[in-house]
A and B are shown apart, each in its own frame.
Chain A
């Protein structure tokens, strides 16, 4: 969240017709958006498509964005809405049996890490993300915004349209649930 001032300059530049400013915003936030999508929906081959979809929506809506607000908060609102649409679509497909429950697959790996050195860390990430998927979506979203973006409770409240007290409560509930889910995993690793 430290880049907000620069972000707003880029937004203004884009609104004045500078398309390269939009590319820079994509460059900056691509991994944050992908990480959010993964944490919300699990690792899958759809992550790139969904991340692209987020930026397409951003591109469409950015001319109407008022640069007095927080760009990341606005970007995350778009990402959250898209993820919710995706969850609904998946439920619908599952309901009509168009496809089976799609298991989280590990097609996405951190390309900067070699497979040998990353094995343990990758396994840990899988466990954490697997547990995160089981946490109620409302609680999980608040926690991800906190942990990934270091957003303050006030910023999360503004992004999600809820009170700060609700943010505090959701983050705590997400942590409590995760703690319960990961209890055995952490015990084994002591």
Chain B
């Protein structure tokens, strides 16, 4: 469609969605334009075909099956979780577990490193081993035993 006619006007014309003035404009254009007449006739054919696909798919007994599901469905409704929601919930739960695990590890690792540092400080200043290594006299059996126990 060249032209003075907007591309979606034919479709709206087919649906009866144009006001009087625009409808008249489309009709006069159609008289002069065979391409638009062809397009309109293809749209009409397509519309008829589509309407034809709307058949009777579900029998009357469908109503009873819906009714049966409503009666027994409240438990089913509660337990039924769509796959996507389940996936989201799983990811969310995992994220919380990881966050909690990282948090608790962090909490534990802080004082642990403090203890180690403290140990080395004490060991350098006051440990039996240190005293043993710095001793000027030869260590006795008791000194060695104390060093092993302290270690």
> What residues make up the interface of A, taking CB atoms closer than 8 Å to B?
23, 26-27, 30-32, 34-35, 38-39, 47-48, 51-52, 55-56, 59-60, 85, 88-89, 92-93, 108, 110-112, 121, 124-125, 128-129, 132, 143-144, 146-148, 152-153, 168-169, 171-172, 175, 178-179, 182, 186
A residues less than 8 Å from B50 (CB atoms): 128, 132, 143-144, 147-148
B35: CB under 8 A from chain A?
A: no
> In the complex, which of the residues A31, A89, A178, A182 contacts B58, with contact meaning CB atoms closer than 8 Å?
A31
Expressed in whole angstroms, the minimum distance between the Cβ of A157 and any Cβ of chain B is 11
Q: List 29 A-B contacts (CB under 8 A).
A: A23-B63, A23-B66, A27-B60, A31-B57, A35-B54, A35-B55, A48-B58, A56-B70, A59-B66, A89-B83, A89-B84, A92-B83, A93-B83, A108-B57, A121-B52, A125-B55, A129-B53, A147-B47, A147-B51, A147-B54, A148-B50, A152-B17, A153-B12, A153-B15, A169-B8, A171-B12, A172-B10, A175-B46, A179-B39
In the bound complex, do residue A31 and residue B56 qualify as a contact, i.e. CB atoms below 8 Å apart?
yes
B residues less than 8 Å from A51 (CB atoms): 58, 62
B82: CB under 8 A from chain A?
A: yes
B34: CB under 8 A from chain A?
A: no
Top 3 A-B pairs, shortest CB-CB distance:
A172-B8, A110-B55, A34-B57
> In the complex, which of the residues B62, B69, B84 contacts A92, with contact meaning CB atoms closer than 8 Å?
B84
B108: CB under 8 A from chain A?
A: no
B residues less than 8 Å from A124 (CB atoms): 49, 52
In the bound complex, do residue B8 and residue A168 qualify as a contact, i.e. CB atoms below 8 Å apart?
yes
